[in-house]
């Protein structure tokens, strides 16, 4: 907060921060209250810093023995004011801290759960997920993002642009129509441009898949655009473009079930002639066990079919019935795939 602020202004800001801190503990706080809190935080960077400052202080205070809580507060003059609500803070701290720590990840703009499963993202933000964790978010223009497990994206919206960068992983986009501001997703050298559509982008290493459930997107290689090469590829509903700039195979456009774009949200993966290495990379984002392809030649095998994310072990045990390989489970939450001799005729 600014050194120019008077003690009275700093005290008032701290009081407001503590009031918001407790107000958001309630399970029945409204969406309107959440939006008001976001407006308060973004109105002055000092407000956000005051709110952030409370989180570790109150977490430490709640962890202190009861007899130690009479010690001077790290925030003078407001601890007595807030003490009457300490019991409610202790009761709700664990649930709130998890949400609030996510809320303060974005730089300059906040994220905060609008519901149990949906975040509201600011115009400039980052969103990531852990292994086995899928997340949902709404953007400032009304577009929605479903983020797959172990994925990361960066959001950069302005008056003349809507841009998303996928660092790794998978995301499903439901784009709000705005012809004046095309929705651009950058991933591994590709630009995916949409106006109003539903499409999925999956990045596994250098391999990128773009699957359209509704509408049309245009996909171009940003490097080719600079060199004045081929025009963008149009990918329509029920089509998937697969591209690997590091491989020798040309980009492939093929027909798929439109619902395969978001099948992972319903607990399954659907593949058509997908390299086994890419399949395993997908599964490792959701599996409690690390799956390792020890024989590199196995990674090039092509798999077509559906995998239930709740039955990954069962699929692995059945894999030798499809390919000539061995599957070995270890006690260290590790599964190893090794090659084997093809069965004799």
Give 338's DSSP letter: E
Cβ atoms 35, 20 nearer than 8 A: no
Same domain, 242 and 273: no
Q: Token digits for 172?
A: 């499903």
| Phi/psi of residue 300, nearest 5 degrees | -85, -10
Q: In the block, which residue shows the tokens 């959001």?
A: 155
Q: What is the pLDDT of residues 260-288, one digit of tens each?
A: 999 999 899 998 889 999 999 999 999 88
Q: 334 is in which domain, residue-wise?
A: 267-339
More confident residue, 179 or 144: 144
User: Does some domain include residue 262?
Assistant: no
Q: In the block, which residue shows the tokens 């996928």?
A: 166
More confident residue, 11 or 145: 145
User: Does some domain include residue 261?
Assistant: no
Flag whether pLDDT at 343 surpasses 60.
no
pLDDT score of 213: 96
Contacts for 260 with CB less than 8 Å, ≥ 6 apart: 211, 240, 270
Q: What is the pLDDT of residues 61-116, one digit of tens each?
A: 444 444 444 443 333 333 343 444 444 444 444 444 444 443 443 323 333 333 33
The closest alpha carbon to 173, from 213, 129, 133, belongs to 213
More confident residue, 276 or 38: 276
Same domain, 45 and 128: no
pLDDT score of 340: 73
**CA–CA dist 85, 96 (Å, integer):** 15
Flag whether pLDDT at 199 surpasses 90.
yes
Same domain, 252 and 118: yes
User: Does some domain include residue 32?
Assistant: yes
The domain boundary, picked from 57, 87, 104, lies at 104
pLDDT score of 80: 41
Flag whether pLDDT at 206 surpasses 80.
yes
Q: How confident is the model at residue 205 (pLDDT cuts 50, 70, 90)?
A: confident
Report how many domains make up the chain.
3
Q: What is the pLDDT of residues 291-326, one digit of tens each?
A: 999 988 999 999 999 999 989 999 999 999 999 999
Cβ atoms 286, 312 nearer than 8 A: yes
CATH of the domain at 290: 3.55.50.30
pLDDT score of 342: 44
Helix (H), strand (E) at residue 305: strand 302-308
**CA–CA dist 229, 250 (Å, integer):** 14
Same domain, 97 and 225: no
pLDDT score of 28: 56
The domain boundary, picked from 104, 137, 168, lies at 104
Give 186's DSSP letter: E
């Amino acid at each position: 907060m600014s050194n120019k602020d008077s003690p009275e202004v700093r005290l008032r800001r701290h009081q407001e921060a503590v009031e918001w801190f407790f107000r958001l503990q309630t399970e029945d706080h409204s969406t309107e209250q959440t939006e008001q809190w976001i407006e308060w935080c973004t109105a002055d960077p000092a407000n956000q810093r005051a709110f952030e400052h409370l989180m570790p202080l109150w977490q430490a205070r709640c962890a202190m023995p009861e007899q130690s809580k009479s010690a001077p507060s790290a925030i003078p003059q407001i601890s007595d004011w807030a003490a009457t609500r300490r019991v409610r803070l202790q009761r709700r701290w664990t649930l709130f801290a998890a949400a609030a720590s996510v809320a303060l990840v974005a730089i300059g703009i906040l994220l905060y759960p609008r519901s149990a499963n949906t975040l509201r993202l600011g115009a400039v933000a980052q969103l990531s997920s852990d292994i086995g964790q899928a997340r949902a978010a709404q953007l400032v223009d009304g577009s929605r993002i479903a983020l797959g497990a172990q994925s990361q994206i960066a959001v950069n919206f302005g008056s003349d642009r809507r841009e998303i960068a996928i660092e790794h992983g998978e995301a499903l986009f439901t784009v709000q129509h705005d012809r004046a501001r095309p929705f651009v997703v950058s991933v591994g050298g590709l630009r995916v441009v949409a106006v109003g559509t539903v499409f999925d982008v999956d990045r596994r290493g250098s391999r990128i898949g773009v699957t359209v459930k509704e509408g049309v997107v245009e996909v171009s290689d940003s490097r080719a655009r600079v060199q004045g090469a081929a025009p963008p590829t149009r990918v329509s509903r029920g089509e998937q473009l697969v591209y690997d700039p590091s491989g020798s195979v040309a980009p492939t456009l093929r027909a798929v079930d439109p619902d395969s774009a978001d099948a992972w949200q319903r607990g399954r993966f659907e593949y058509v002639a997908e390299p086994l290495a890419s399949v395993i990379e997908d599964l490792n984002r959701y599996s409690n066990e690390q799956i390792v392809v020890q024989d590199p030649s196995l990674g090039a095998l092509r798999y077509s079919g559906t995998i239930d994310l709740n039955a990954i072990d069962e699929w692995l045990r059945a894999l030798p019935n499809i390919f000539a390989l061995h599957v070995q489970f270890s006690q260290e939450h590790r599964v190893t795939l090794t090659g084997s001799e093809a069965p004799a005729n």
